[in-house]
Chain A
Amino acid sequence: MSFLDYFKSTKKNTASIAKERLQIIVAHERGKRDQPDYLPNLQKEILEVIRKYVSINQDQVQVQLDKNDNCSVLELNVTLPE
């Protein structure tokens, strides 16, 4: 450990916190902007169909589209009440 490192270690490394936070928010925002325009409507209609059978709220259905190299995966997460 060099003499410079000593001073470094006594202070919190806020740059690495910044990087971590940025990686999360940027990934999240990129995911959102790459969504096709039909996704919100798709989510709404799926919600309506499920509601015919069980009573759930808007936030209990999550629709996400993940793009891989040669295909896209539509992920549907429904939280049903007990």
Chain B
Amino acid sequence: MEKVKRISGSIVSMPVNDIDTDQIIPARFLKVTDKQGLGKAAFCDWRYLEDGETPNPEFVLNRPEYRGASVLIAGNNFGCGSSREHAPWALLGAGFKAVISTDFADIFRNNALKNGLLPIIVDADTQQQLFSLAEEDPSTSVSVDVDAQTLTLPDGRAVSFPLDGFAKYCLLNGVDQLGYLLALDDEVSAYESGHPQRVMTTA
């Protein structure tokens, strides 16, 4: 994974609660065997008209003034639903580096962090402020300092956000968790010899 230390970019808002993973990427795009090219499928059923090709001019990501936005401000409980890691892959593919909401579904948050997509939790007032800012001035940018765990708004206010210490370490150092687990091989073997195998699938 690449190191993620700072992020800055313009914002776009989707003030909708409970945006589920079926909206982030509909299931029919899950027949892939790699991670490439999923950006096209992000929010597909909102982004295109009935024919699946013509961009829906009403949809916020299709409005020219929001082209290139890399920070998504979303309603509460973003990413609920399925465990598909295709959701962060699609968001990254569509150019997003961070999502800001009041809370995230557990599995989505875990998946996002493992791919360097930052899930940033803010209070409801900050969320509303960002919704308004994005609406009033589409060129609004924010910046994020991962180490300091702060989100800096255009007025200079720095809002701190929670980030699990280990996830932060992995982001800052570009470490992936598999490396950490692989290094525990002896401890896992010790566990296995101390606990009888509970079920054998090959039997």
Q: Do A and B bind each other?
A: no
Binding site for B on A (CB under 8 A): none
Chain B residues near A (Cβ < 8 Å)? none
